[in-house]
Chains A and B, each alone.
Chain A
Amino acid sequence: MARFIDANQVIKSLSGGKISGLDALVQAKDPASAFNNQQKWRHHESMVAGAAAATTIANQWTSLWQYQSVPMSEGAAPGAYATPSASTTGALKQGSPGSNTQLVLAAIGSLWDSAGTLMVYDRLLHMSGLDATLTTAQNINGGSAATLSRYDGLSDNFLWYEVYTQIGATATTITASYTNKGNTAGRATQPVVFGGTGRREAQRLIWASLQAGDDSIKAITSVTVLASTTTAGNFGVTVAHPLLVFPIGAPNGAYALSYVDGPIANVLNNACVAMAFMPHAAGNNLAELMLETADFA
């Protein structure tokens, strides 16, 4: 059997059969067509709650959820557990496709101040209000599993510990109790460093490492900080699913993704689209995103 015969076959494969080929792709880019072509643009300033955002740290992931945003508003610390949607304040607020399939036709991501990696993701679950000085299990949903409304039971959902107000300078470790995609509860993440320089700042995202054998999260129940970081701060958990990633190779750089080099990402109905980034140097980063989607039956 041969590799792909032509570009049409590539497009058809990457879109799960939804886009028949280049002609359909071109037609879908017409805003006047029946494909509900949308072009959403977003700019994030390095400001949080009216003040300068915490200076980013090289090689540490940073959440843009609270970064001042135009034209749609930035998000806030979520409080009680919720499953955000396209209408959640902080989301990209793209029009949802209903029963159709919304595919990303093209996207441009850019970062100012540093090279790095910019990720666009679907924010599936979040909560805040956890205390970085408590060493007992802290429940996400009152002791019950906090579940998802999208990608439920599917691969590649990951967990971040997200810091909203700076926690303590004493480094410790943190684990979470979760249910994997196979619906096995009581799974435990590997301990990862929590607190201390690089792991304490507001808007910091700390990746959880899953228990051996797992590749996704279906629900999360609690987190446990091993020892006090000495400052309660405010942190929470975020479960997310990756959509697009941009390699920004130089400071003040941009990268354009299309079917040629990336996925034809599927934005699920009511997705809460948001961004995060990992800079390669400390700075005061700005970020921009242009996302073009169309809906296919």
Chain B
Amino acid sequence: MTAQAKHQHKEYRVSGAASQVFAAGEEHSLWQYEGQPSHGAIPPTTYRNPDNTTQGSLMQSSPSASQQSWMHSVLACVGSLTTKLVLYDRLLDISGLSGTVTTAQNINGGSAATLTRWSPGYTGIYTDPAAITGEGNEIFLEIYTAIGATPTTVTASYVDGAGNAQTTQAVTFGGTGRRLADCIVRLPLAAGGTPGVQSVTSVTVLASTGTAGNFGVVVARRYKEFTLSGGTPELWAPTFSPGGPPEVLPGACFGWTMTATAAVTSVIASCLDAFFVIADN
């Protein structure tokens, strides 16, 4: 039995310079934000299943083949901003999609782009049945180079937690608050479908946003939403709470999104310090 104490630090810097300025309520990805362990890169234009060795991840060790890992605690600290943070396991990503193409943009050449965790593709030890169904997985779009100022809508074709083909509900894409680099756009799953995502096939932008930019798709499993009121650090310690600690599947690739209730200027302070305790048994 072992435990890991891991620390993650992020600054408001991307590619060696101050990060984007986000308005209040604009959810953005910290994937490329620099710090320690090192920042993530723009994903490749061929889909992949990130893991704990992927640049940008927490880089925790996976358990041995006969053991499981559990999230014992996470302490999230930001500055004095009132902030919502979402901790997730990054299951799939891809970049290279265009904000001006209005035909279906395939993620895997027309076939389903599958997952290796929290989906039927997972073959390891598990306790939570969702480990092999995809229930609880989410889809969001992640922008790497700003797309256009003309708002339109976007949908994605995916397979839900019951294995049925579905289409996400249309949401605004492009325009104010929906176009900047590092901005994310969440795609609500199909109404009436079984919650969850087992794979994703394509993304369709209804009309051109005016600028191709560069965006991609992320399939994620949400672990915890932290609400840091006035910046007060939040300690999540689920081991002795109802429900117990969630599983950390081998290869988990932890990432963060952030939403501030006030404009996030490119302050020169650290934007996130997170301290994880992951225990194995």
A3 with B70: CB separation less than 8 A = yes
Cβ–Cβ < 8 Å partners of B269 in chain A:
58-60, 198, 278
Q: List the B residue with the shortest CB-CB distance to A243.
A: B5
User: Does chain A have a CB within 8 A of B231?
Assistant: yes
**Of B6, B9, B16, B80, which is within 8 A of A58 by CB?**
B80
**B249 shortest CB reach to chain A, Å:** 13
* A1-B127, A117-B77, A260-B240 known; A59-B267 Cβ under 8 A: yes
Binary interface encoding of chain A residues 38-67 relative to chain B, with 1 for a CB under 8 A from any of its CBs, else 0: 000000000000000000001111000000
**B9 shortest CB reach to chain A, Å:** 6
A263 with B3: CB separation less than 8 A = yes
**Of B3, B7, B232, which is within 8 A of A249 by CB?**
B232
B234 with A247: CB separation less than 8 A = yes
Residues 201-253 (chain B) with a chain A CB within 8 angstroms: 230-235, 237, 239-240, 244-245
B73 with A262: CB separation less than 8 A = yes
Q: List the B residue with the shortest CB-CB distance to A191.
A: B16
**A13 shortest CB reach to chain B, Å:** 4
Q: How many residues of B contact A (CB 8 A)?
A: 50
Binary interface encoding of chain A residues 158-202 relative to chain B, with 1 for a CB under 8 A from any of its CBs, else 0: 100000000000010000000000000000001111001011000
**Of B59, B232, B280, which is within 8 A of A13 by CB?**
B280
In whole angstroms, how far apart are the Cα atoms of A13 and B68 in the complex?
A: 11
A198 with B34: CB separation less than 8 A = no
**B66 shortest CB reach to chain A, Å:** 9
User: Does chain B have a CB within 8 A of A248?
Assistant: yes
B75 with A245: CB separation less than 8 A = yes
**A204 shortest CB reach to chain B, Å:** 11
In whole angstroms, how far apart are the Cα atoms of A214 and B9 in the complex?
A: 13
A215 with B1: CB separation less than 8 A = no
User: Does chain B have a CB within 8 A of A106?
Assistant: no
* A9-B1, A10-B72, A158-B9 known; A214-B268 Cβ under 8 A: no
User: At the interface with chain B, which of A24-32, A85-93, A205-213, A227-235?
Assistant: A205-213
**Interface contact tally, CB-CB below 8 A:** 155
Interface of A is mostly: loop
B273 with A215: CB separation less than 8 A = no
A192 with B11: CB separation less than 8 A = yes
Binary interface encoding of chain A residues 251-272 relative to chain B, with 1 for a CB under 8 A from any of its CBs, else 0: 0000000001111110000000
Binary interface encoding of chain A residues 269-284 relative to chain B, with 1 for a CB under 8 A from any of its CBs, else 0: 0000000001011000
Instruction: Give 9 CB contacts A-B under 8 Å.
Output: A3-B245, A13-B281, A158-B9, A198-B268, A245-B275, A247-B233, A278-B269, A278-B273, A281-B80
Residues of B bordering A, CB below 8 Å: 1-3, 5-7, 9, 11, 13, 16, 34-39, 41, 55, 59, 68, 70, 72-73, 75, 77, 79-80, 125, 127, 230-235, 237, 239-240, 244-245, 267-270, 273, 275, 277, 279-281
Residues of A bordering B, CB below 8 Å: 1-4, 7, 9-10, 12-17, 58-61, 115, 117, 155-156, 158, 171, 190-193, 196, 198-199, 207-216, 242, 245, 247-250, 260-265, 278, 280-281
